[in-house]
Structure 1
Amino acid sequence: MLANKRDGGDLAGSSNANKRTRSFLSGDDLYWYANKGIWSELGEKRALKLSKSVVSLALSDGHTVLFSFSGIVVEELRCGYRFLTSASLIRALKEHDDLKIEVRHEQNVVIGFLEEYDLDHEIAVVKITSSLNLNAVFLHNVSHYQPYNDVVSLGRDISGKLLATTGKLTPISSGSDRRYLMFSSCKLSEFMEGGPLFDCHGAFVGMNLVPSMEKSFFLPVHLISERLKHFETTEERAVFLARVNELKPERVGGTPTDIPDSHPKVAPDKDHYRYLEVLGYPRPTKSGMTLVNTFEEPFGDIYHHGVWKQLSRGVSEKIHHSVVTLASFKGDERFFACSGTFIDWDGKFQYNGCQIILTSACLVRNPDYPYDEGNKIVDGLRIKVSIPGKKRRKGTLIHCNLHYNVALVSVKTSSAVSLPVVRHARENLCSKLVVAVGRCFKSGDLMASSGELAPHWSGPFDFKRLLYSTCRIKKAGIGGPLVDAEGNYIGMNFYDQKVGNPVLFCDDIVDILDRFKKGTAAELDNDLTRWPVPWPKWLRPGDRNGLMEWEQRIIDSGCPYNYSGGDIFIVK
């Protein structure tokens, strides 16, 4: 199934023996439906609907597509879709590390996530959180198919181009199993594994499993429906447990339960996997792997310890009461989590009993934009704010600018302590101690990492006016404040696995806050900058995450070093 084995153009012209397989694009180019055979019976409208039920699922290392399967749209979600495909996708993921699942339909490419699989029944379920123009197949078809009924198989190649081939249902040659098992005579390419099989009326018959140029085996619709129902029951149980763990501390005042062990000592079960997915994390492809780049990874020193002892009691308490943590959710699944700071911005909100939180726009940013058909900001998100004291409140997004990566969220509370956001002279900050602060959403722990500003550093980001500090934080610190020893607000933290602590300087924040008041901030989004955040992933023992070994040796050596464009250099 390697991509280089599949080069050679579309299937229609690959050989005379395969003239019944045709390659085409849906959309405006729908002349294929009038070809001889079953397509002429389906008609354009029904054929177009069927074409929107199949996608390409490509496994890519970021540069090259190594494997490609077809997938079937089985459910349209409030924001996204679920796809059914062959378990061959799981085997490919287990053989190769760090592969992304790219869901391709026509000219659209979005990143998918493995949600569930069953190797015994040869099925896997992939999910996306982006909106596309797709149609889910009807899974509750109770028809009994007779041998020699006309059928059509669909699939998509690596580019997302639609493939189709027609044939008939054929029983196995002998034995009692011939009542339950049938093949189709559709001649399938490898791309079409995992794609749908339909009858001449457009009813879903099953999923193609074993591609062949002679005959193809398929998983019938009633078995598919049965396994998906099993997955749904398991998910309902896991979602319930996850929500109980989340809501229980709000009721009884306990400490929130953290995520399941990212490196469990025993083999995790399906409830463990489902709980991770509810929190927005993928499942491991092999045993013994470690989950990294989570929102629960701690950094620096916990409140009252380490660097906190270098700050005065008054400064520490002010920071403690002004820094919060936020999370956004799509349905019951967490989308993003980060930190934020109470600020004085517009007094009219205080009259309504609300306070304003300055945070990162990553909380609501669509990471697939502009490569999908979705909006710049993910629709339908709900925001929760965990304020000091481990109380959780509903948050409301009131302003957002993706160029500066800044968002303002309002929350009802009367106990907030605000940090003033004012302009500072950069040249007066270079020799000062600075502290990057953030909170973990699950535990509520307040964390801080100390360092200095590094005025000559530059990173790999589109936004070129960023400051950099030598503070080391994790994803939980995104959106939190960088302050000096007196507690003055210097800027808003971002995260990079290599280049210390990128910081949006307070002068730029003052500018965008003024634009929010004037209603002129939206025009800056036309020049959309990227603010990439590392995705959660599983590593094998010995794999490195972030700094390479030689980069870590430079940092540990004590020699002066510099970053230019995200690359480290020793300063001579």
Structure 2
Amino acid sequence: MLRVKRRARYLNGQQKNGKSLKKVSSILTDCKDTAESIEQKLCWTELGQELATKFSASIVSLASYDGDKLHYKSTGIVVENSLRNTSILTSSALVSTSDSGRRFIFGLKIKLRLPNNQVVDGWIQHSVLPFSMVMVVTTYSPDLRTVCFSNSVQVQRHTDLLALKRCFQSGKLMQTHGVPSDDPSKIDSKGRMLSTCKITMDGSGGPLVDPDGNIAGMNDYHDQEGTPYVQGNKIDECLRVARISREEMQRNYWQNLSSALRRHLEGSSNQNGCSGGNENNNQKQVLSSIPEPQALEFNEDAPTPELIDDEHKRVLAPWPSNGLTKMINDQLKSDGYPLPVYADGGMRLEANFEEKFGTDILSEPARRITLKMSRSVVALASFNGDLMLLARHFACTGVCIEFDGSTSTTRVLTSASLVRTSGDENEIVDNLEIKVCLPSELCIIGKLEKYDFCYNVAVISIPMFRSNRPAILVDAPQTEVLALGRVFKSGKIMAAEGSVTGERCKFGCKELKISTCKITKAGIGGPIVDFKGNVVGMNFYDTEGTPYLPSKIIMKVLRSFDAERPVAAGITKKPISRWPLPKPYWYYPSGHRHRTVVRLNQ
């Protein structure tokens, strides 16, 4: 009995000691917060009215979270603000480990407080920028204003400097004073200059300016006497390199989407604690034996590339809802593509309009002809919907065939698939708008002039534009030919060599011929030329050779257009050929069966 009582008293003592330790820990935390608050008040003062007016719309506050736990707070500088998204430059400390190595941490949630005190989600766009910088993107905000680092000033000795930040909780703009370090050539181990501005952690990523408001660089917090900052001219160079890299990625958007999704999904998997045990490893081994899709086949009776529900649930996770996927969904909708249903690391969009064809290594004659004809080959896209929300309907290639000096208008030959509702319907898309990407990559508005659904031919007029090298159509037998195309989004010219075969096309139009030039959907409506640079036909798309309409038939259609006969009115008397095209669809490597099928535009 005595031992039991002593044991009880001992346990009660342990509980009291535990409570005391928690109280002490809480007191120490409060003391630390108070000390940081005092330090902040000693270092920072509220920004003056003049500079606040200049920088208020360009500085935001950021916070990163590991679950619900705060990881880091920083300040960010608006460097780009477009309808697509807003880019914020800040310190890599926001998403890195606290040691000197600053290793990137996957799966952190990012929140931004905007100048209007709105709190929005953000996500990392560039995590490998030099000088310990990262780029965070968020949805477009019309109230933000960008900072231009190309006009930054070079800091001289004894120049007064101001380090700026925005508080995450209050949203206030704050400043602290300093000067460059005594030795202006002194730099830290990462190539950054030092100033005497004493900043707190949440000042990391904030701008460094002179009293007149000229940008000198971006601050980074470091636990030492001086505060390192990246000079403005170096930031400008980094941003230009990053912008070039991003533009290159946009040119190959759908080719790079799968890798971006894979990184994002891997981060989500790590955040959710998926360890990938034996069951997952076995599943990966099984899934790795599933072959990649081979050439697509047009089979009207083939099922769509999906699994039964049980297999979907077992293998694939649902498509998540967050800032990144919202941006992807918005882009997909505007491009007229289906949204993903599932999330898979190797997922990709098949049968899209951005897929390139051909090769950059051509024979010398083909290279010369491609260079010559590139000045007359354009890309086109059709859109339908309201003025505020246009969705892309189709994208293809065209070739300039004539310039009318009396009206200053250039005529472009292309496929009527650009404007028809589907491959075999005799209807024009509602609320049609056509855009033309010129060889200079300038995008202008075009107008549907004439069309013939029987031969799937259309002529688009471009007002106030002169083509200096209109194409010449010839009716002559050919063997060696070259298919040309241009991608609408990137403006990239494409070329594929091949030869004319004696095979017949299955589309129903008896006049069609077949070449071995392998193209993608982006090449529909593009010219097929001989090695003198003459257009001998217009390409269409199939997986078993490339059908093309000979110039002899095209010239007959153009003459009927020039005679101003109402082509549309006479279409119903002509046999309407079918022009089937594969619809875009999502391919999930972990969920597909061995066979590859494609949806048809019926």
After TM superposition, the score normalised by the length of structure 1 is 0.46
After TM superposition, the score normalised by the length of structure 2 is 0.44
Q: Which has the larger radius of gyration?
A: 2
